[in-house]
């Protein structure tokens, strides 16, 4: 049975939809499908840093490249007192959606990726390399940062239910399941397959992902590392596109990875069960039902 469920966290309505293929319970009879919905957006992987939200809403960010640790990069300096329901990480900036709906951004601002519209409130957020995208409560899509490839040139009149951002392109999902793209198309990452209808979207360096109502994962764009070769028969309830690899979460809590493997970013730990996933440039994250964060991939990033 397919259910399209709205995501609601802490009373704030997210109009992102996820496809739940079946009831899914842990050893204590708790619904893991519901846990996956509650956990959506609680972890994020940037190019070389990671973010997570604790049970109290506190945001934590860290970077594990040994040579960079002591530099205290601005994108890992979380604003004091921030409590959030969703996070997202770019190359050198971070984004959070505060519990009251306010968008908070921090990090480098060399390409105005941290210069967002004043007073912006949103229900969904996404970060590209050097740009950000947000969705307001009335469905308007707002983008800021570098526009060198048109990634901030939101199509006129667009209304959406969620957004995603790749390195130099952006995606939006409309209420009728249509995927809208804009920005760089040098790898055909903006050429949406004809007739596609989706319930979730994600974007990588030069490729894009979508999840259909039946749980099928669809990929298009750059396939140099096999990132668009979706495993046969895969059915998922969540997706995440990294730099050149992808993650998918099945209804049973299994994490599936494919694409670039040169840093072991697709080598999922044995026996891992998860309720949330996040793919970075060369590393991967998962959140277990017990609240543990598991990382793998680039040895100097995934710790």
Q: What CA–CA distance (Å, rounded) separates 103 from 124? A: 9
Q: What is the mean pLDDT of residues 276-286?
A: 95
Residue with tokens 């050198």: 92
DSSP helix/strand/coil, 140: strand
Average the pLDDT over 14-40 and give the result: 50
Q: Token pair of 249, please?
A: 């979460």
Supply the pLDDT for residue 4: 33
Q: Domains plus CATH for the chain?
A: 3-184+198-297 (2.130.10.30)
* CA distance linking residue 238 with residue 251, whole number of Å: 9
Lowest mean pLDDT among 10-24, 96-110, 230-244: 10-24
**What pTM value is reported for the model?**
0.89
Cβ atoms 106, 90 nearer than 8 A:
no
User: Is residue 96 within 8 Å of residue 124, measured between CB atoms?
Assistant: no
C-alpha dihedral, 66 to 55 to 272 to 230, nearest 10°: -90
Convert the pLDDT of each residue in 185-224 to its tens digit.
Answer: 999 999 999 999 999 999 999 999 999 999 999 999 999 9
Q: What is the mean pLDDT of residues 14-23?
A: 39
Q: In what order do the strands lie in the sheet with 276-279?
A: 276-279, 283-287, 293-297
Q: Which phi and psi angles does 173 have, rounded to 5°? A: -115, 125
Averaged over 153-174, what is the pLDDT?
A: 97
For residue 238, pLDDT over 50 is answered with yes
Can you give the length of the chain in residues?
A: 303
In this predicted structure, the answer to whether residue 9 has a pLDDT above a threshold of 80 is no
Please choose, from the candidates 219, 221, 224, the residue with its C-alpha nearest in 3D space to the C-alpha of residue 248: 219
Contacts of 54 (CB under 8 A, 6+ apart): 60
For the chain, give the percent of residues with pLDDT over 90.
80
pLDDT > 60? residue 121: yes
Contact call for residues 280 and 268 (beta carbons, < 8 A): no
12 or 159, which is more confident: 159
Number of neighbours of residue 68 by Cβ within 10 angstroms: 15
| Token code pair at residue 272 | 């891992």
Question: What value does the mean pLDDT of the chain take?
Answer: 87
Which residue's entry shows tokens 């050149």?
244
Structure tokens at 66: 């040994």
User: How far is 98 from 87, CA to CA, in rounded Å?
Assistant: 9
CA distance 252 to 263: 26
Q: What is the mean pLDDT of residues 43-59?
A: 93
Q: How far apart are the first and last CA of the chain?
A: 38
141: confidence class by pLDDT, cuts 50, 70, 90: very high
Per-residue model confidence as pLDDT tens digits over 63-74: 866 555 556 689
Which residue is associated with the tokens 């995501």?
7
Alpha carbons 165 and 129: distance in angstroms, whole number:
8
Contact 269, 247 (CB under 8 A): no
Q: What is the pLDDT of residue 44?
A: 96
């Amino acid at each position: 049975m397919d259910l399209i469920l709205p995501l609601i966290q802490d009373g704030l309505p997210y109009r992102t939809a996820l496809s739940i293929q079946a009831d899914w319970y842990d050893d204590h009879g708790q619904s893991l499908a519901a846990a996956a919905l509650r956990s959506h957006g609680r972890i994020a992987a940037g190019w070389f840093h990671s973010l997570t939200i604790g049970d109290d809403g506190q945001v934590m960010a860290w970077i594990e490249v040994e040579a960079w640790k002591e530099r205290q990069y601005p994108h890992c300096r979380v604003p004091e007192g921030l409590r959030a329901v969703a996070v997202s990480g770019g190359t050198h900036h971070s984004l959070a959606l505060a519990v009251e709906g306010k968008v908070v951004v921090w990090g480098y601002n060399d390409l105005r990726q941290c210069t967002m519209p004043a007073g912006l409130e949103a229900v969904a957020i996404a970060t590209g390399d050097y740009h950000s995208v947000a969705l307001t409560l009335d469905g308007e899509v707002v983008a800021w940062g570098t526009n060198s490839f048109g990634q901030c040139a939101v199509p006129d009149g667009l209304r959406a239910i969620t957004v995603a951002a790749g390195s130099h392109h952006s995606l939006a999902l409309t209420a009728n399941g249509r995927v809208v793209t804009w920005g760089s198309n040098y790898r055909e990452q903006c050429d949406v397959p004809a007739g596609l209808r989706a319930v979730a979207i994600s974007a990588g360096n030069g490729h894009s992902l979508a999840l259909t109502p039946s749980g099928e994962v669809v990929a298009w764009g750059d396939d140099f590392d096999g990132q668009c070769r979706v495993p046969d028969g895969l059915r998922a309830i969540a997706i995440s596109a990294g730099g050149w690899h992808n993650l998918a979460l099945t209804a049973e809590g299994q994490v599936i990875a494919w694409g670039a493997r040169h840093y072991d970013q697709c080598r999922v730990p044995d026996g891992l069960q998860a309720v949330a996933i996040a793919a970075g440039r060369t590393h991967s994250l998962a959140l277990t039902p017990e609240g543990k964060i598991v990382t793998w991939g680039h040895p100097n990033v995934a710790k």
